[in-house]
Structure 1
Amino acid sequence: MVTLPRVVVSAPATGQGKTTVATGLMAALVRRGLAVSGHKVGPDYIDPGYHALACGRPGRNLDPHLVGEDRVLPLLRHGAATPTPADVAVVEGVMGLFDGKVGAGGFSSTAHVAALTRSPVVLVVDVSRSSRTLGAVVHGLATYDPAVEVAGVILNQVGSPRLVEEVSAAIRLPVLGAVPRDEAMSVPSRHLGLVPAAERAEAAATLDALAVRIEDAVDLDALLAVARSAPPLDGPAWAPSAEVAPPPGADPARRPVVAVAGGRAFTFRYAETTELLAAAGCEPVVFDPTTDPLPAGTAGVYLGGGFPEVHAAELADNTTLRSELGAAVAAGVPTVAECAGLLYLCESLDDTAMVGAVAATAAMAPRLTLRYPVAVAAGDSLLTRAGEQVTGHEFHRTRTTPEHGDGSVAGAPRAAWRIGDDVVEGFATDTLHASYLHTHWAGHPHLAQRFADAVHARARRRDGVVEVAGSRGPAAGGPAPRPSDPGADDLLAPRPPTPREVADPLRHHGDAETGAGLVDFAVNVYDGPRPPWLTAALRDSLEAVGAYPDPRDAEAGVATHHGRDPGEVLATAGAAEAFTLVARLRTWRRPVVVHPQFTEPHAALEQAGHAVTVVTTRPEDGFALDPASVPADADLVVVGNPTNPTGTVHPAATLRALVRPGRLVLVDEAFMDTVPGETETLAAGPLGGLVVTRSLTKHWSIPGVRAGYLLADPGVVADLRRAQTPWSVSTPALAAIAVCCTPAARAEAGARARTIAGWREHLVAGLTARGLTVAPSGTSYVLVRVGAGVHAALRGRGVAVRRADTFPGLDDTWVRVAVREPGTTARLLAAYDDLG
């Protein structure tokens, strides 16, 4: 149980002075030396800005519609504890006490939030137009709902002491204060309500005067007594780290930068948004679009709400940023834009030039749009998957032309949302989500996770560099040169070498670790010569290279080998081509890759523009896969069997349990031919919902010949064949596929698998005798926990093993060791012994 003194400041109706009094109370309590946490009921961004100014800590919103009833109390506790524990929380209400979402029975009203948080209510009552009647109004509010405790009243807009006496005598609750009428204390407004604190240079001085006025007019001790009467709270506080996480393998020392729009034009953003991005391993950096370039190292952009129509000229004058940001969006830097952000990305706003990243114009409209809807994702995008529902709000007096994308041209934006039966709005692609709808990511943390995952993926691309938007701006070593013509090619900022000395973990392969003078335990190629019949088939195929390759004979051989129909077989240029074809087969809503495993499928999905969800198996479970750990809404699941680099052989029944309607399961069996008897293969059974990939590279010692194939239902194979580049599989590769599927080859493959099993037993015995942890393996390599630094130390003694920290889910204490014949294995063990 946690004790949190707290009070909700409400009113009989809007316009009674809640914001002035609530903000003044916060400031007055801070002047007393108390730590005060300010909160606002509802979606409003402006009032929390004044709360933040008064309290010296972020103002926060409590809105059951946006975040769900179950998160309101945890978010209150989080705000009251962040960045330091508060002595008291003051919650400003919205509209009248019982006014909430229209047609929803008071849902999301101030009374609703007060009941959810078990907080006493103090009413602010404007007495300028009434006197004794207010006693009946207060009585009605206090008795209307037994779940809501109205504990006191503050009179506002008081004109005389006599009026105070008259009203106080009619009210049957404690009157905690009487605030005199003072127009100097009001907050100016414009077309969308109050002017944000960030846009008022005099706001801090006005707040100081307000604090003095409230301190004189309100019995703060009595108010604190009301706050301290609130009962203790149970249950956990909301924590961003419980909602999102960095992707596996993310380096905490290299957090990709998310450029977050701020300044006077972009003041609308929930505090939890940046907290979620930070918890997901990103580095939110606020910049002012009216004056600044994009921050150095930007790998993602978040443009929240605000008033770009008021500051359009200043935004237009920052031509460098407009050019940089337009190039960034065009180059695929993940970008989220809400309301003001959408307007800024349009070609123009009221005929003033904007960024031009969205093919639309924006202008002021005669009518206000005010919605508090449940929105449905119109399609797959950077943030959403088709058909998903989110809650949000819209509050704007502009419109765009057109109002939404239609995706009619390949790569063009699609619509973002469908609201009700007749509203379609916004612009969305795999790397952009721009719309009028404001969402609270604390209520929909999967949106934050998808955006953060896309930012991490963007930052990993390009060997040795991170893709960023625009100019470098000031950096640790001083200003970097600015491009003379920012464009897509200028979105590359050199980054220091990663401590892991690898440009892109998803593209790191064992062949990069071998070299002259090194004993190779890094590449999983069979330690022996090619069979003479395979060499002869490759040599003979050269006689046919004068004609375009024809895969039919090879695919027929594969079909016979596995007892399948030829229509279920597609020859591929190694398994890598199969991964790329599947990645581009559909617009996957939620592709899942089971890690640690071979990273090529993950890289192919990201290269195709998909945000990948990672499911990680654990060493303490022997890297076994629990089908229940795969999200139910996954429409593509990728898993290796045996898995590279763990050596895990998953039971066929476990993998078949992943199959369900609307989902494709890709099982990479690149090393299945190293398992004696291929006991857990899926190649011979029903293929409904499955794609099984095979590679000849490793077992037959032909990495230079990209030869492989996949097995799937005829319909899936036909779709993949249509997407395949014509003649992508060379004549030598087709010859290798055909000859490796003969009965003689099958017999030799089995003999090789049994030989590998014997070599593996010898290797594992030697490693375990030295006290090392070896993951159970059924294939031609083993995963060994040797400790940090051993990979490099062995290399210094002439032995190359495969680093494992480039596989998501593993760190630099692991290495992968290829199985070799015992004489070669002895050299590895001797090198390890030399380490002392």
Structure 2
Amino acid sequence: MIAAPASGHGKTTVATGLMAALARTGLEVSGHKVGPDYIDPGYHALATGRPGRNLDPYLVGEDRVAPLLLHGAGPLDGRRAADVAVIEGVMGLYDGQLETDGFSSTAHVAALTRTPVVLVVDVSHASRTIGAVVHGLVSYDPRVEVAGVILNKAGSARHADEVRRAIRDVPVLGVLHRDAGIEAPSRHLGLVPAAERSEAAHSLDVLAERIATAVDLDAVLRIARSADPLGAEPWRASDHVAPPATVDGARPVVAMAGGRAFTFRYAETEELLRAAGCDVVTFDPLEDAALPDRTAGIYLGGGFPEVHAADLAANQPLRAALAAAVADGVPTVAECAGLLYLCRAVDSAPMVGVVDADAVMTPRLTLGYRRAVAPYDSLLGPAGTTVTAHEFHRTTVEPHAGALAAWRVGDRAVGFAGPALHASYLHTHWAGHPALAQAFADAVHGRASTARTSSRSVGAPVVTGIAAATTGAPMLEANGDRVPTPDLRHHGDVEVRDADLVDLAVNVWDGPRPPWLDDALRSSLDDLHHYPEARTAEAALAARHGRTPEEVLATAGAAEAFGLVARLRPWRRPVVVHPQFTEPDVALAEAGRTVTHVVLDATGGYSLDPARVPGDADLVVVGNPTNPTSRLHPADTVRAVARPGRLVVVDEAFMDFVPGETASLATARTAGVLVIRSLTKLWSIPGVRAGYVLGEPDVIAALRAAQAPWSVSTTAGAAMRACATDDAAAEAGRRAATTAAYRQVLTDGLDALSIPYVADPAGPFVLARPGAGVREQLREAGFALRRCDTFPGLDATWVRIAVRPPDVTARLLDTLHEIAR
């Protein structure tokens, strides 16, 4: 055990150098670290060629410390067992958890493992007094055997001799003179990790040579051999976790973040996951553009994303892949650095954006052991799960916790949790809590099983699929409410069906239909004795949009149009941009297609980035304005998605609510673009099923050939003709202007209540985030709002609010105010 009177005496330098010097003599050396620190083990691994290991009674329990020491020193990947184990202490020899009489201190671990101690003492500011310091450390606790001392930072040979003569209790094993060249550089959280220092290997060679010259290695080995037998069995991961009884197909992959930005995870974490039947593949968020093939789980451990924020932000393809994977329910665990990476931003640099929080650097260090309890069922276990953990960071996230917190520490909620995500600042050592590893591995196996069913993976930049989106994640219970997994067939009318509630869930104009439209609908009944024909309606719609009739196909609502598109070609890589209306997903799934989701970022206000679309996508579906975000994408941005060999389908179901229909692609033929329109919303006729498609003649002809005969009813045709007139255009303009005015009342009220919403809404609805449980409280108060956890990329903290007249909106806002109180 390499210990010291206090931090800063050179434990890491001497311990690492000693490991390297001993290894260079041909010995097999294992390196260990007392406490939770994750930087020093990186240097130990570099020195020994074996994983650095942590020994922490608080994190793993006293009874596991000796078994973990034996495990770390045992045979490994074809290498023989270690000849000598070197353990680096923490802080001062007897310094441990506060108010516990030194629990988890270096001395505590030395006693648990019967390990003799070699002191490293910085003598740069004293001489004979060092003798008194060493005497005090030697005699303070008879359970701890201090067997030698190494003097560090001696000013001269004369100075070293003076100190040596003053030490009477134990032998001096060596003297290191002042030399900053063999010290690792530091920054805001201590030493710079070895993985971030390109010169680390060379520096280690220099350090090993100087330790070998200055320290009596034979004497050190004699002390090591004097250690008493441990009388314990080595820890084995397979004793604590197990794979499923049956595994269908290849072992699922857990993608584990590594590289310079993610330098820390306990070695036993990976071993537990492997023992639980998973393969662990490291990926580098700074370099890799995609997740590993067959990824069915993601583990983002510790590191320094704040240092590498700009480079992490620059790797936009991987950020998009992670966002899509998390949104699609891929089980994901993130600790500290992983939490920051999943936030919207770190010091304004955009990150993955799946955690609705922002991270910033602060001057305050948060450091300490924690005992945490899971307040809800989550990915890592049921409510009530209790763990010991460690917290160490100079950043903060706002808010500190989501609606479903990952942990509760005392009266403080921390982190973000759900059925497929667990993210917080707390580091847990899974060797001490193997149930966490088992729960995560079980979720990964469940995910892999679903993925095999739908024949897909998440190895590509942004991949998700219908099967997992509908059945992949378990139910989540929070505050007594059962929150189901995304149901892509859910519709807003379910919220108000058979209920006497104020309807803020369905995006249909709630005023009366124009008399001329009602007249047309009633008159159509006189023609029901004929089979329907849609050509006159298509001609009227063509004139309305300045198109030829060959560029228009009437359909039984947008739903039929999506079904026709899904069956139009054997799509190899269909993509649906989310969050948006889920009918395209359902249609493609029913056609036997595997769907790729591109999930837009909340940090960018859900704006469309054409670069997010995979290059090999041959079908792309995007809403404009998008349901449920109400975001209007510029026409040029939508056009930029198009390319040769690709069909871009633009769902403009709500475009007629936009004054002037700015950004519409309906009136001009654009190569490779198909526009789907609906009369349902603006004209209050969802029961009629009237929609149409605008596109290039060859595409329209192919869709027409696939359409069932007489699918468009006589009444739907009459509605199309009536809504294509000049009178209809004038009325549409008035309704769009009224909607914009009503919507402003709603957003002003949300601003006054400090309820966040997606900025610049353009549709007849607003996507707001009042928090989990608010929708249910509003329902109890008589208001029906559209739930949003059925939209990929959103969760139960969001609601979609239909725009209504100011008096209705005022009642809603008053109720929200009462709930907030």
Report the TM-score, using the length of structure 1 for normalisation: 0.55
What is the correspondence of 1:131-146 to structure 2 with a 5 Å cutoff?
A: 131-146=127-142
Residue matched to 1:435: 424
* Secondary structure in 1 matching 2:465: helix
* Secondary structure in 2 matching 1:362: strand
* Secondary structure in 2 matching 1:359: strand
Residue matched to 2:322: 325
Partners of 1:466 and 1:351 in 2: CA distance: 38
Residue matched to 2:275: 279
1:27 aligns with 2:23: no
1:416 aligns with 2:406: yes
Residue matched to 2:200: 203
* Secondary structure in 1 matching 2:235: coil
Residue matched to 1:355: 352
2:173 corresponds, among 170, 176, 200, to 176
Number of aligned residue pairs: 467
Residues 1:85 and 1:234: Cα distance change in structure 2 (over 3 Å)? same
What is the correspondence of 1:297-446 to structure 2 with a 5 Å cutoff?
A: 297-406=294-403, 414-421=404-411, 423-446=412-435
- Show CA shifts across 1:762-799 (max 9, x none): xxxxxxxxxxxxxxxxxxxxxxxxxxxxxxxxxxxxxx
Partners of 1:387 and 1:34 in 2: CA distance: 46
In structure 2, give the amino acid aligned to 1:424: A
Q: Displacement, 1:467?
A: 5.0
Check the 8 A contact 2:42/2:194 in 1, yes or no.
Answer: yes
Residues 1:17 and 1:447: Cα distance change in structure 2 (over 3 Å)? same
Check the 8 A contact 2:155/2:177 in 1, yes or no.
Answer: yes
Check the 8 A contact 1:469/1:491 in 2, yes or no.
Answer: no
In structure 1, give the amino acid aligned to 2:81: P
Residues 1:467 and 1:76: Cα distance change in structure 2 (over 3 Å)? farther
Check the 8 A contact 1:299/1:466 in 2, yes or no.
Answer: no
Report the TM-score, using the length of structure 2 for normalisation: 0.56
Check the 8 A contact 1:373/1:392 in 2, yes or no.
Answer: yes
What is the correspondence of 1:509-520 to structure 2 with a 5 Å cutoff?
A: none
* Secondary structure in 2 matching 1:344: helix
CA RMSD in angstroms comes to 1.9
In structure 2, give the amino acid aligned to 1:12: P
In structure 2, give the amino acid aligned to 1:37: S
In structure 1, give the amino acid aligned to 2:67: P
In structure 2, give the amino acid aligned to 1:454: A
Residues 1:462 and 1:277: Cα distance change in structure 2 (over 3 Å)? closer
* Secondary structure in 1 matching 2:73: helix
In structure 1, give the amino acid aligned to 2:378: S
Partners of 2:178 and 2:455 in 1: CA distance: 57
Q: Displacement, 1:164?
A: 1.7
Q: Displacement, 1:82?
A: 3.9
Check the 8 A contact 2:122/2:151 in 1, yes or no.
Answer: yes
Check the 8 A contact 2:328/2:468 in 1, yes or no.
Answer: no
Select between 229-238 and 435-444 the one with higher mean Cα deviation.
Answer: 229-238
Q: Displacement, 1:180?
A: 1.2
Residue matched to 1:468: 457
Q: Displacement, 1:207?
A: 0.1
Check the 8 A contact 2:329/2:468 in 1, yes or no.
Answer: no
Residue matched to 1:223: 220
Residues 1:50 and 1:491: Cα distance change in structure 2 (over 3 Å)? farther
Partners of 1:435 and 1:48 in 2: CA distance: 22
Partners of 1:333 and 1:381 in 2: CA distance: 13
Residue matched to 1:258: 254
Residues 1:80 and 1:466: Cα distance change in structure 2 (over 3 Å)? farther
Check the 8 A contact 1:240/1:275 in 2, yes or no.
Answer: yes
Partners of 1:448 and 1:294 in 2: CA distance: 21
Partners of 1:221 and 1:466 in 2: CA distance: 60
Check the 8 A contact 1:298/1:467 in 2, yes or no.
Answer: no
In structure 2, give the amino acid aligned to 1:445: P
* Secondary structure in 1 matching 2:408: strand
Q: Displacement, 1:468?
A: 3.3
1:455 aligns with 2:444: yes
1:268 aligns with 2:258: no
* Secondary structure in 2 matching 1:372: strand
Residue matched to 1:647: none
Q: Displacement, 1:250?
A: 2.0
Residue matched to 1:187: 184
Residue matched to 1:738: none
Q: Displacement, 1:234?
A: 1.4
* Secondary structure in 2 matching 1:116: helix
Partners of 1:303 and 1:76 in 2: CA distance: 25
Partners of 2:234 and 2:400 in 1: CA distance: 40
2:39 corresponds, among 38, 41, 46, to 46
Residues 1:490 and 1:366: Cα distance change in structure 2 (over 3 Å)? farther
Partners of 1:161 and 1:465 in 2: CA distance: 73
Q: Displacement, 1:333?
A: 0.4
Q: Displacement, 1:469?
A: 2.6
Residues 1:451 and 1:159: Cα distance change in structure 2 (over 3 Å)? same
Partners of 2:441 and 2:72 in 1: CA distance: 22
Residue matched to 1:55: 48
Residue matched to 1:157: 153
* Secondary structure in 1 matching 2:42: helix
Check the 8 A contact 1:470/1:491 in 2, yes or no.
Answer: no
* Secondary structure in 1 matching 2:286: coil
Residues 1:35 and 1:466: Cα distance change in structure 2 (over 3 Å)? farther
Residue matched to 2:465: 489
Partners of 1:385 and 1:453 in 2: CA distance: 13
Check the 8 A contact 2:453/2:467 in 1, yes or no.
Answer: no
Residue matched to 2:98: 102
- Show CA shifts across 1:17-60 (max 9, x none): 00000000000001101000000000000000000000001000
- Show CA shifts across 1:324-373 (max 9, x none): 11011111100000001011111111111111111111111231111211
* Secondary structure in 2 matching 1:91: strand
Check the 8 A contact 1:297/1:466 in 2, yes or no.
Answer: no
In structure 1, give the amino acid aligned to 2:24: R
In structure 2, give the amino acid aligned to 1:438: H
Check the 8 A contact 2:456/2:465 in 1, yes or no.
Answer: no
Partners of 2:211 and 2:232 in 1: CA distance: 34
Check the 8 A contact 1:467/1:492 in 2, yes or no.
Answer: no
Residue matched to 2:114: 118
Residues 1:17 and 1:491: Cα distance change in structure 2 (over 3 Å)? farther
2:82 corresponds, among 74, 81, 86, to 86
1:296 corresponds, among 293, 298, 302, to 293
| Unaligned 5+ runs, structure 1 | 1-7, 407-413, 472-482, 494-503, 507-836
What is the correspondence of 1:681-760 to structure 2 with a 5 Å cutoff?
A: none
Q: Displacement, 1:231?
A: 1.2
Partners of 2:85 and 2:177 in 1: CA distance: 25
Q: Displacement, 1:489?
A: 3.4
Q: Displacement, 1:62?
A: 0.2
Q: Displacement, 1:470?
A: 4.3
Check the 8 A contact 1:458/1:467 in 2, yes or no.
Answer: no
Partners of 1:436 and 1:174 in 2: CA distance: 43
* Secondary structure in 2 matching 1:112: helix
Check the 8 A contact 1:333/1:468 in 2, yes or no.
Answer: no
Select between 459-468 and 141-150 the one with higher mean Cα deviation.
Answer: 459-468
Partners of 1:105 and 1:390 in 2: CA distance: 21
In structure 2, give the amino acid aligned to 1:288: D
Q: Displacement, 1:488?
A: 2.9
